[in-house]
Structure 1
Amino acid sequence: MEIAVMAGQLILGLSILVGLHELGHLLAAKMFGMRVEQYFIGFPPKIWSIRRGETEYGLGAIPLGGFVKISGMIDESLDTRQMQSEPKPWEFRSKPAWQRLIVMLGGIIINIITGIIIFIALTYKNGETYLSAQDARYGIVAYDLAQQIGLKTGDKIVKINGKEFRDFNDIRSSEVFLGTNSSYTVERNGQLIDIEIPNDFIDKLSDKKSAGQFIEPIQPFRVGELAPGMPAEKSGLQKGDIITAVNGRPTPFYHEFQAAIRANTNKPVTLTVRRGNQPVTIRTSVTDKGQIGIGVESLLRQTHVEYTFGEAVAKGTERAFGVVYDNIKGFGKIFRGDVSASKALSGPIGIAQNLFGGVWLWDRFWFVTGLLSMALAFMNALPIPALDGGHSTLLLYEIVSGRKPSDRFLEAAQRVGMVILLGLMAFAIFNDVFKAVF
């Protein structure tokens, strides 16, 4: 079921984004009087289509892309037959270079607008909820990766890159991991200590085995939702209970409770529980995966901020372009060798697993769709032949130099670009499968 939910979210999200992207090309082309022959969401084979005027609108069976076919343009179809005749007034190639440039940028512009609108809407609807640095008063839980750079459980991080910060999540932000020469200032036993973060540290964080195991706030907790059929539910544990000890060992904080439970894998345990004002003793068992089947609610105070529409416009736009900025920094990390491409790049399987997840939550769906919209705009803007950015680069050359590249050169560039893109797609899919298996 989880696989179906992940696949459904991925297909719906990409279909929306690809449909809007190609719509940007279509509208710009029609605005300048170009003939649009086909508008398809999905790649062939065709499963449905309808003709309206000069354009065939349809759906393809392979839902991970789409295309618009504009008369007189060398595109991914590599159909060059019409290029052998004299240019017609309605063809792409007969229009001024500046009009052709706007057509090529139409998809990118629509994706940027879509991403911004989604982030603005989510910001206005949900506001912002976060754990303030001040309210993380018990310090941090330092897992193995954090310990490798010198952090310890109980440390209080007071500065990031020499500056005070507001949100605890800033500790794990792209500003830290995608930047260079980043550092934490921690308070330990009354002293301030600077902890340097290696520039290639994100490569270790990207490892599947290390996912989510870096830093968490030390937090008191209470029992949240109970998993049906698991030992906690069967033993009578209730939502809202506060577990104070496991087998007599005090567990005021969640990481201590986790350690005590895992130490008793496949064994019975006795939980000391506070239910309201009454102490309760509950006997349960731990599964072979070191679990008893409870959700957890943190007792640390969360800060919530509501935004006016004007504030949401500013904040949402900032968040949207932050995605582009992070992509630029991420590519910089790859080119400098700080992170391996195999860990940084994901294909459709990785996107479905790591971003959408196996539970359909509309807020998360739209957040990931907005994120992908900005990422697709950035990727399409890269000056790679066959991408919009590649076409736009050649058009800018034509505008500046006054010389139009030959059709033969454009066809060769398109072929090279297709080989590059197919190679990258094959690498990303193979990489997803490899990471999923190993």
Structure 2
Amino acid sequence: MTIFWTIVGIAIFFVGLLISIAWHELGHFATARWFGIKVPEFMVGFGRTIWSVKRGETEYGIKAIPLGGYVRMIGMLPPAPGKTLGRSRRTGPFQGLMDDARAQSRLDVLPEDADRQFWTRSPWKRIVVMFAGPFMNLILAVGLFAVLLMGVGQATDGTRIRDVSECVVPASVAATQEVEQCPVDAPPTPAAGAGLLPGDRVVSFAGRAIEEAQGQQLREAIRVASGPTPIVVDRDGVRVTTSVNIIDNEVQDFQDSTRTVTAGFIGVSLLPDYVRQGPGTVATEIGSMIVRTGEAITKIPERVPAVFGAAFLGEEREPDSPVGVVGVSRIGGEILAQENVPWQQDVSLFLGLLAAVNISLFLLNLLPIPPLDGGQIVPAIWESIKRNTARALGRPDPGPVDAARLLPVAYVFVLVFLGFSLILAIADIVNPVPFFG
């Protein structure tokens, strides 16, 4: 069943990724149509078309490679300045490439569509059209976080017992090896000896009442206690009173999980409680995730060697390593394959991961690099600055910015992106990120 739920989780998360991409493209499509720009294609994916349908003047479809999507608007590139017979008078190593791209752009423009081209719209309208895609991802991320925090709730330390360990094992041993069976000389845990069971909720410890959201207080109380200690649990609506003989053991430090300390121990793990939050928490979490994701994006270039080593040299994959489409889909499968966890945890991890993907799409697409959306926003901003400056100085309109001159950068970026995506896919398959340790 674990394999089945893993496959189901991968499929569900993959569909979520496709919806996120389509939602992004819908932002471009809706604003382009709003401003009267003709849109012949609305596609999710790249490469060969798997399915498509034409409605009005637009063909909607899904392509074979799910690494993104696009909305094809006519007239993305303006005519070359000083053109002669369709070719620019300028020369250079990339001039033929730029002229061919302009010629291809003109093929979509029928005589009756001359005034419906992207480049003919004012700069602010082009900025709105290109920003609308990433902004839709931000809206989706906010919506997902709202459902997660205001609907499902935020995980807090709970007081319900998840597991009862059979025997006493030091934390340093448990962290370095899988303990499937108790060692011969290992004593039973105090919780097992006291008859505590998974599902019991602790309502009193050492004579002190424990509320449902006071799991951390319960943990702290256990660590400072010693010897026989009364404990009351709620078991299927019936209160059961017993005593646990608390012993000292090597356990993880609350402040630093990489360190261990000697403290009171009974041998139970606790399930989290989920407390619904308000809009303020949603805004705070979104802001925090944007900052963390932005920092992670700036570190991608320096992590390329480590990803390459993980993919081809067998090097250890770091927990904060970048992941691609394959990696995040696999993590989605792992989430659903977990056993003995509350449904809120599965839903929270799913929604949180999908929200993180949408925040990444929001920030990545704003990078001022063609063919990303930011690569069209920056020329529009520059054109607006030039036109407003010329108007203020009483000079003629300088005309549109020649965005085709950025095409060499776009081709280089696409090659680098495809290469890095391939390396990420291989690393995610042969050496995946240890999401659950």
TM-score for the superposition, normalised by structure 1: 0.59
Structure 2 SS opposite 1:359: helix
* Paired residue type of 2:292: D
Matched, 1:94 2:10: no
Residue matched to 1:128: 154
* Paired residue type of 2:280: A
Equivalent pair of 1:382/1:390 in contact (CA under 8 Å): yes
Quote how far apart the aligned CAs of 1:104 are. 0.7
Matched, 1:393 2:396: no
Quote how far apart the aligned CAs of 1:423 are. 2.9
Which one of 3, 7, 26 corresponds to residue 4 of structure 1?
7
Percent identical among aligned pairs is 24
Matched, 1:23 2:26: yes
Higher alpha-carbon Rg: 2
Equivalent pair of 1:20/1:111 in contact (CA under 8 Å): yes
Residue matched to 2:93: none
Equivalent pair of 1:6/1:356 in contact (CA under 8 Å): yes
Quote how far apart the aligned CAs of 1:358 are. 5.0
Equivalent pair of 1:74/1:80 in contact (CA under 8 Å): no
Q: Deviations over 1:138-189 (max 9, x none)?
A: xxxxxxxxxxxxxxxxxxxxxxxxxxxxxxxxxxxxxxxxxxxxxxxxxxxx
* Paired residue type of 2:285: R
Structure 1 SS opposite 2:45: strand
Give the Cα–Cα distance (whole angstroms) in 2 for the partners of residues 260 and 332 of structure 1: 33
Give the Cα–Cα distance (whole angstroms) in 2 for the partners of residues 298 and 385 of structure 1: 50
* Paired residue type of 1:390: G
* Paired residue type of 2:416: I
Equivalent pair of 1:14/1:65 in contact (CA under 8 Å): no
Structure 1 SS opposite 2:365: helix
Equivalent pair of 1:46/1:60 in contact (CA under 8 Å): yes
How do 1:353-392 residues align onto structure 2 when only pairs under 5 Å count?
353-354=330-331, 357=334, 359=336, 361-392=346-377
Residue matched to 1:40: 43
* Paired residue type of 2:120: S
Equivalent pair of 1:356/1:368 in contact (CA under 8 Å): no
Give the Cα–Cα distance (whole angstroms) in 2 for the partners of residues 25 and 46 of structure 1: 20
Matched, 1:409 2:379: no
Equivalent pair of 2:25/2:70 in contact (CA under 8 Å): yes
Equivalent pair of 1:223/1:242 in contact (CA under 8 Å): no
Equivalent pair of 2:42/2:71 in contact (CA under 8 Å): yes
Matched, 1:57 2:60: yes
Give the Cα–Cα distance (whole angstroms) in 1 for the partners of residues 138 and 178 of structure 2: 46
Give the Cα–Cα distance (whole angstroms) in 2 for the partners of residues 90 and 259 of structure 1: 63
Quote how far apart the aligned CAs of 1:268 are. 6.4
Residue matched to 1:255: 171
Q: Measured at CA, do residues 124 and 13 of structure 1 come closer, stay the same or move farther in structure 2, by a change above 3 Å?
A: same
Q: Which moved more, 1:41-50 or 1:52-61?
A: 41-50
Structure 1 SS opposite 2:115: coil
Quote how far apart the aligned CAs of 1:401 are. 2.1
Structure 2 SS opposite 1:112: helix
Quote how far apart the aligned CAs of 1:378 are. 0.7
Equivalent pair of 2:327/2:428 in contact (CA under 8 Å): yes
Q: Measured at CA, do residues 45 and 131 of structure 1 come closer, stay the same or move farther in structure 2, by a change above 3 Å?
A: same
Structure 1 SS opposite 2:401: coil
Gaps of 5+ in 1: 136-220, 225-240, 280-295
Structure 2 SS opposite 1:319: helix
Q: State the number of aligned residues.
A: 305
Matched, 1:298 2:269: yes
Give the Cα–Cα distance (whole angstroms) in 2 for the partners of residues 353 and 263 of structure 1: 26
Give the Cα–Cα distance (whole angstroms) in 2 for the partners of residues 355 and 306 of structure 1: 23
How do 1:20-419 residues align onto structure 2 when only pairs under 5 Å count?
20-73=23-76, 80-83=103-106, 88-131=114-157, 224=163, 243=166, 246=167, 251=168, 255=171, 258=174, 272=188, 273-274=192-193, 275=195, 298-299=269-270, 305-307=275-277, 311=278, 313-333=279-299, 342=307, 343=318, 344-354=321-331, 357=334, 359=336, 361-402=346-387, 403=398, 404-406=400-402, 408-419=404-415
* Paired residue type of 1:324: I
Gaps of 5+ in 2: 79-99, 197-241, 245-266, 308-317, 338-345, 388-397
Quote how far apart the aligned CAs of 1:395 are. 1.6
Quote how far apart the aligned CAs of 1:40 are. 1.4
Q: Measured at CA, do residues 68 and 339 of structure 1 come closer, stay the same or move farther in structure 2, by a change above 3 Å?
A: closer
Which one of 419, 422, 428 corresponds to residue 418 of structure 2?
422
* Paired residue type of 2:10: A
Structure 2 SS opposite 1:39: strand
Q: Measured at CA, do residues 46 and 381 of structure 1 come closer, stay the same or move farther in structure 2, by a change above 3 Å?
A: same
Quote how far apart the aligned CAs of 1:394 are. 1.8
RMSD of aligned alpha carbons: 3.9
Equivalent pair of 1:321/1:374 in contact (CA under 8 Å): no
Quote how far apart the aligned CAs of 1:108 are. 0.7
TM-score for the superposition, normalised by structure 2: 0.59
Quote how far apart the aligned CAs of 1:271 are. 6.5
Give the Cα–Cα distance (whole angstroms) in 1 for the partners of residues 154 and 375 of structure 2: 38
Q: Measured at CA, do residues 263 and 358 of structure 1 come closer, stay the same or move farther in structure 2, by a change above 3 Å?
A: closer
